[in-house]
Amino acid sequence: MALDSFLLDLLQDPVDHGPLLYLADVSVLYNPRRRVVYEVRGSIPVLLPDEARAVTDEEHDAYVADPSARSTGPIV
């Protein structure tokens, strides 16, 4: 299940407080600055630093190049 756009406008990384990339196809929220991914379980983003996992260089390249990725956080 995809996340609501209203919720996506509010979400940010709990550690550096920056925007995330939402990749609905793989149900993750990705922080390219820290290179960590947070799972989305059902329609619930799990934004716990202890639950985040590091990504490989290949995953990073794929995530940032994904045209369907949507940035989270307020539009400034």
What pLDDT digit, counting tens, does each position of 41-69 carry? 988 999 999 999 999 999 999 999 999 99
55 within 8 A of 36, measured Cβ to Cβ: yes
* CATH code of residue 37: 2.20.25.10
Block residue for tokens 């949507």: 70
Residue 74: predicted pLDDT: 73
Q: Is residue 27 part of a domain?
A: yes
Question: Per the structure, how many domains does the chain have?
Answer: 1
Domain extent, residue 26, equals 5-71
What is the pTM assigned to this prediction?
0.92
For the chain, how far is it from start to end, CA to CA, in angstroms?
A: 27
Q: Is residue 42 part of a domain?
A: yes
Q: What share of the chain is helix, strand, coil (3-state, %, to 5)?
A: 25, 25, 50
CB-based contacts of 74: which residues, under 8 Å, 6+ apart?
A: 9, 10
Q: Is residue 56 part of a domain?
A: yes
Over range 27-51, report the average pLDDT: 96
Q: Is residue 76 part of a domain?
A: no
pLDDT at residue 18 above 90? yes
The pLDDT-based confidence of 72 (bands split at 50, 70, 90) is very high
Q: Is residue 21 part of a domain?
A: yes
